[in-house]
Every structure is written in C-alpha cells, then in structure tokens.
Amino acid sequence: MPAPVSHTYEYPRPALTVDCVVFGLDEEDLKVLLIQRGVEPFAGRWALPGGFVRMDESLDEAARRELEEESGIRPGHLEQLFTFGTPERDPRGRVVTVAYFALVKLSAHVLRAATDAREAAWFSVWDTPKLAFDHADILNTALLRLKGKVRYQPIGFELLPPKFTLTQLQRLYEIVLERELDKRNFRKKILAMDLLEELDEVEQDVAHRAARLYRFDHKKYRQLEKAGFNFEL
C-alpha cells in the first residue's frame, strides 16, 4: 500500500505541468512539433507536447517523459524556457506550466503519437493551426529565445545533420533569423572561429557541384568556452 502523500498546508494550490517547444529544420523551413489532443479540454485541437508533473520526478524528467510518451522524441538539447501562470490559462483549474524548448535533427526522429495524443506532426513555425491553451504565447516566447541564443551560442548545430556544408549552415541562420546573410562575410567569420572540422568528404547525390562537408567540433568548443571564448555571429 503506497504511503500517504503529505501536504504542506490545507489551502488550494496550483497544479504543475510542463510544455515543450521542439524545433526542427528542413532545407527551407523551421518546424515545430505539435500533437493533436485526444482528450478534453481542447480535444482534437493541436497543442505543444506536455502534461502534468508526477510527484516523484524532476521538471526535466517530466519534460523528457512527456515528449517521449506523446511523440517518441528524445531530444539532445533541452532547456527551460519560462514559467507561464496566468490564472485562466487552463480551463481545468489553476495550472502553472514550466515551458521548455528543444532542438532536434529531423532525420534522426520518427514521430510516434501515444498516450493522450491522437497524432504528432511537424508544422512550419510561421504557419501553425490555432493552438490549445496559451501555447501560441509559449511558442512565440521560444522562437524569440531561439533567435537570440543562436547568435551567441552554437546551439544551431543541433538542428543540422552531423555532417553539413557551409551553405547548409548559412541557410540555417537565414531561416532562423529571417534575413539574408552575406556569403563572404558569414564564411569568413565562422571559419575564423576554427570550430569546424573540414572533412575529406563531399555531398552525395546532388544535381549541382558537390560541396565540401564539415563537422562541428564540440570538444574544442567546450575547451575554448572554459578559456573565455565568445561565440558570436
């Protein structure tokens, strides 16, 4: 028989959930992962994956569990985003949510909806359906965080395949930042950081001239970061 749950005090208090904004990237678009809710409230509506935090798990554990249960995704990069606690945000009652954002490589994940999610799918961040709860606000907050952070931390590499071209890298920044970048200046700046390992490989099965492939040196970046290196694009 399980032990009774102790309560700090008798008064009503909010419930706690986690919601996750998961970004992925294809050749021309930034994507966000959404699940179609199978239960009320908002049954049939699209929403961010998430759910209630269990008594025996941390917030990070809850976020990872909900992501895997509702979509089959296990993100590499996952971080806390913000806390949303508007009293009327959830029709079930007083619910506070801790939002997370994650970055994944699209080709590395096969979506698999389960538990209370009818379906899981990728949508363009610029063209999402009407979202349940306050998830549109959460998505916008995550997008602003990504736009800012991608310029001063190399988190953008989490969206690329392990081996990529300089064109793919530049396109990543152009898609996220929503503006064109000067090719010469971009390449000069990124190569000067000496964080890309040039591989003895080129693109395969492309109609144009095959470009050189590169790989981001995570180990070298961690060493430079400890020494005070500032990544900025």
38-50 burial by CB neighbour count: b if 16+ within 10 A, else e?
Answer: eeeebeebbbbbb
Among 173, 157, 155, smallest CA distance to 215 is for 157
Can you give the pLDDT of all 233 residues of the chain as single tens digits?
555 655 667 778 899 999 999 999 998 899 999 999 999 999 999 999 999 999 999 999 999 999 999 999 999 899 999 999 999 999 999 999 999 999 999 888 888 877 778 899 999 999 999 999 999 999 999 999 999 999 999 999 999 999 999 999 999 999 999 999 999 999 999 999 999 999 999 988 776 788 999 999 999 999 999 999 989 98
The CA-atom distances, in angstroms, between 111 and each of 49, 72, 114, 120 are 12, 6, 10, 6
Query: For position 5, what pLDDT does the model report?
Result: 59
Query: What's the number of CA atoms in the CB half-sphere (13 Å) around residue 63?
Result: 21
Is CATH 3.50.30.40 the right assignment for the domain spanning 15-151? no
Catalytic position from the list 61, 119, 180, 225? 119
Q: What is the pLDDT of residue 216?
A: 97
Contact call for residues 119 and 113 (beta carbons, < 8 A): yes
Of the candidates 84, 69, 86, the residue with the CA atom closest to the CA atom of residue 18: 84
119 is known as an active-site residue: yes
| CATH class given for the domain over 160-227 | mainly alpha
Beta carbons of 45 and 60 less than 8 angstroms apart: no
pTM: 0.91
- The verdict on whether omega for the bond into residue 91 sits within 30 degrees of 0, i.e. cis, is no
Domain segments of the chain: what residues? 15-151, 160-227
